[in-house]
């Protein structure tokens, strides 16, 4: 499936520049699909992953902090 997305000239220039930079970094030409897949892959790698235990600890800390916040708010 092929599609076209309308973007401003400035955005197009930025995307083309970033695509060229990535091609130089990878030392190979990229299609627009490959370029965007690489961008999303890099973004996915930057998202921190929590274990179940870490998530529970953060959830408990948030709950406790909210209780304290409510107490401070009405004092």
| pLDDT tens-digit series, residues 17-56 | 999 999 999 999 999 999 999 988 877 677 777 888 998 9
In a domain, 4, yes or no: no
Contacts of 32 (CB under 8 A, 6+ apart): 19
Longest Cα separation, the chain: 63
> What gap in Å lies between CA 47 and CA 65, rounded to an integer?
24
For residue 53, the tally of other CB atoms under 10 A from its CB is 8
The number of distinct structural domains making up the chain is 1
In a domain, 3, yes or no: no
> What gap in Å lies between CA 60 and CA 57, rounded to an integer?
5
In a domain, 2, yes or no: no
In a domain, 50, yes or no: yes
In a domain, 14, yes or no: yes
Could you list the residue range(s) of the whole structural domain that residue 30 is in? 9-74
What percent of the chain has pLDDT above 70?
Answer: 83
């Amino acid at each position: 499936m092929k599609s076209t997305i309308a973007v401003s000239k400035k955005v197009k220039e930025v995307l083309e520049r970033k695509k060229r930079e990535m091609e130089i970094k990878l030392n190979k030409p990229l299609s627009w699909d490959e370029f965007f897949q690489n961008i999303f892959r890099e973004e996915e790698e930057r998202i921190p992953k929590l274990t179940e235990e870490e998530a529970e600890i953060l959830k408990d800390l948030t709950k406790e902090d909210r209780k304290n916040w409510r107490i401070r708010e009405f004092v």
